[in-house]
């Protein structure tokens, strides 16, 4: 009797593990390097109604680049050489017109499909 219980338990665990692997549909997890551009940021606000600028799957790895909340002109007035001021910062300050009350440039939002709590 005990041998049958152990065998059934072993088969159940193997079957469950195989189903879990197959449920990922043989998809390869991705590595995404996500950079701030005028089209991938929100400036000075966070609103859950803002459509995502990137969609990822659970299991993907995302490296998110952010920017400092200061204008290129402030850096230049502090005598930072112009070639040391990031071009994305210049582009965002020149091109993004929809700005909220805050000063921070947020990269995103990002929608994560298939994520679960915890």
Task: For residue 22, tell me if it sits in a domain.
Answer: no
Task: For residue 18, tell me if it sits in a domain.
Answer: no
Read off the pLDDT band of 94 (50, 70, 90): very high
For the chain, how many structural domains are there in total?
A: 1
Task: For residue 11, tell me if it sits in a domain.
Answer: no
pLDDT of 7 strictly over 50: no
Task: For residue 72, tell me if it sits in a domain.
Answer: yes
> Domain range spanning residue 78?
29-113
Task: For residue 109, tell me if it sits in a domain.
Answer: yes
Model-wide pTM > 0.85: no
pLDDT of 33 strictly over 60: yes
Q: How far is CA 29 from CA 43, 62, 101, in A?
A: 30, 10, 37
- Read off the tokens for 118: 């915890």
pLDDT of 52 strictly over 70: yes
pLDDT of 49 strictly over 50: yes
């Amino acid at each position: 009797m005990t041998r049958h219980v152990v065998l059934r338990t072993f088969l159940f665990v193997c079957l469950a593990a195989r189903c879990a692997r197959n449920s990922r549909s043989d998809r390869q997890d991705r590595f995404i390097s996500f950079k701030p551009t005028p089209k991938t940021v929100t400036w000075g606000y966070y609103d859950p109604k803002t459509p995502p600028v990137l969609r990822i799957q659970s299991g993907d790895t995302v490296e998110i680049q952010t920017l400092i909340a200061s204008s290129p002109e402030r850096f230049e007035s502090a005598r930072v050489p112009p070639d040391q001021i990031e071009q994305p910062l210049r582009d965002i300050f020149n091109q993004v017109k929809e700005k909220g009350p805050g000063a921070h440039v947020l990269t995103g939002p990002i929608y994560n499909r298939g994520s679960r709590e915890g």
